[in-house]
Amino acid sequence: MKTVQVRNVIIGEGRPKICVPIVGQTKEEILTEAGSFAEFPIDVVEWRADWYEDVFDTDKVLETAKELNTVLKDTPILFTFRTAKEGGEKAISNEAYQNLNLAVAKSGFVDLIDVEAFTGDEIVTNIISKAHDFNVKVVSSNHDFDKTPEKEELIRRLCKMQELDADIPKIAVMPTCRRDVLMLLDATLEMTESYADRPIITMSMAGTGVISRLAGEAFGSALTFGAATKASAPGQIPVNELKQVLDILHKSL
């Protein structure tokens, strides 16, 4: 299986990497939060730009991305505009979504961008292709905040992201019961063993799904999300505790 390297971090090798979100609304909040991350065990920082009050002003987005890059130094940055239809803070047209992601990828201030897989195949493949031209990696994602699809559907979605040439397919789903968490983990294992040729990220959300954020290495998920300050999704746990569990599991496998 291929790994994905962003700066000095290799995703898909060793223990799952820890990604921490920034959800500030102003540039000052974003940079202040980033400045506090030095004391935490963080591998990747996700800038959730849909929280940013000036996200529809591309010049201000690029200015903030540049300063964020400076503050975070060698820590890789994942740029994410999570759309309202997938649980994000703001709605956006497909054209604006494409233009924003390409402008940020072209800037050189981020290492990865998140592209929602079901935005439309033509748009998604165009963003992925051009991001690769800019030497930026792509996480292709899908989120279901209402339910957990059946195992076969979870695998189908992950395979589709792989076919679209995303570097890292990602899926996050909401469990309605504990068996949903088992189904997500089972789908992750089957995807990893039978179909994946690159790292994948999977998670079951909320308190019921916390085990999926901890046991990724045992089932095949290569990155997990934790909270340094404010969580960006239900079920994220404090990053220090997250690393302790991941390290223990890694040593036992």
Catalytic residues: 143, 170
Rounded Cα–Cα distance for residues 100 and 70 (Å): 20
- Cα–Cα distances (Å) from 222 to 4, 21, 211, 212, 231, in that order, read 10, 17, 14, 11, 20
Q: How many alpha carbons lie under 13 Å from residue 96 in its C-beta half-sphere?
A: 12
Please say whether the beta carbons of 225 and 213 come within 8 A: yes
Rounded Cα–Cα distance for residues 97 and 219 (Å): 33
- Bridging pattern class, strands 4-6 and 9-11: antiparallel
Rounded Cα–Cα distance for residues 75 and 44 (Å): 6
CB-based burial, 174-191: b 16+ in 10 Å, e otherwise: bbeeeebbbbbbebbebb
